[in-house]
Amino acid sequence: MRGRRRGGGDGPSGLLLVDKPIDVTSAGVVARVRRVLGGVKAGHAGTLDPFATGLLPLCLGEGTKLAGYLTDSDKTYEGVIRLGVRSDTLDITGNVEAGGPLPALDQARLDALAAEHTGEVLQVPPAFSAIKVGGRPMYELARRGLAPQLQPRPVRVDRLELTALEDRRLEITIDCSKGFYVRSLARDIGEALGCGAVLESLRRTRVGALRVDAAIPLSRIMDEDGRPEAEAAIVPLIEAAAHLRLVRIAPADAADLRLGRQHPLSRLGPAFAAGERIRIAAGSDLVAVAVAQGKLWTLERVFAAPRAAAS
């Protein structure tokens, strides 16, 4: 049952999918949820800018061990690009100035432009970003006018759809890899069209196999009255890692793995590919994540045995 299991530490363990509203930081969402759930250990899996909305997976308790796997997952965004302007932040929240005149646009040109930005591409991240240079976030340096020019980074776009809207705007839908900045895409599209562009709105609708349709609006769990609803919405650990192949083991083997004994891994069968990761479960409980190194499985994360919540 959701929200009724507790991990090896205090508080619930699992994944809470939150639909983040506009003008709230990702860290702010984490802080509010921690207060509602009594100080549970928590972190988010992939930052959303304050002006962005949508799916923000929160890892709770033992679920914080899954954060890296979710951050590395592919994502889907929907948004609006405003043409004919530029800004220092590459979005509408920055210092906006006029760009160039708009070219004639039809769907054929937009489709061609989308194709140019699809596949394995190199992208220059925004100066206003959380990327660290010399231990300092870029946005801190950018505010002081000290941000260095970042080098292009390889990213991947699996799908990009561009549709013209009224009043000098483009609607975008994109499936992309980790490390992709939609603000940089807005800049690059604006430069390709010769008129400049900024990101006007952004909504994340998917992280890996997780979708915003299953998320709970932050407004519904803003205070202690929302605690029962928040706890009921917690996704169990075994479901939180649904993008990893599932392998089931016996309870005795689960106990050994939790003690760091690796011999049960020899009975898991071969990997599909080098570097493959699997989730290992006993019954409905997530026991571990293992990674294939050559022909052998190696433990990468181990999860404490759950215990019933105090009544």
pLDDT of residue 140: 63
pLDDT of residue 149: 74
Residues 118-132: b if buried by 16+ CB within 10 A, e if exposed: beebebebbbbbebe
Say how many C-beta atoms besides its own lie within 10 A of residue 171's C-beta.
14
pTM for this predicted structure? 0.88
Whether 278 has a pLDDT exceeding 50, the answer reads yes
Instruction: State pLDDT tens for residues 250-272.
Output: 999 999 999 989 899 999 988 88
Amino acid 227 reads R
Phi, psi of 194 (to 5 degrees): 80, 10
Whether 6 has a pLDDT exceeding 70, the answer reads no
Enzyme catalytic residues:
49
CA distance 95 to 78: 23
Quick one: DSSP state of residue 99?
Answer: -
CA distance 56 to 289: 22
pLDDT-above-90 percentage for the chain: 71
Closest alpha carbon to 71 in 163, 162, 152, 177: 177
Confidence label for 222 from pLDDT (cuts 50, 70 and 90) = confident
User: Reduced to 3 states, what is the DSSP secondary structure of residue 301?
Assistant: strand
Domains assigned to the chain = 5-72+209-239 (3.30.2350.10), 75-204 (3.30.2350.10), 244-308 (2.30.130)
Instruction: State pLDDT tens for residues 72-126.
Output: 899 999 999 999 999 999 999 999 999 999 998 999 999 999 999 999 999 998 8
Tokens 């619930």 correspond to what residue?
Answer: 12
- State which H helix or E strand residue 143 sits in: helix 138-143
In this prediction, residues 237-243 reach a mean pLDDT of 89
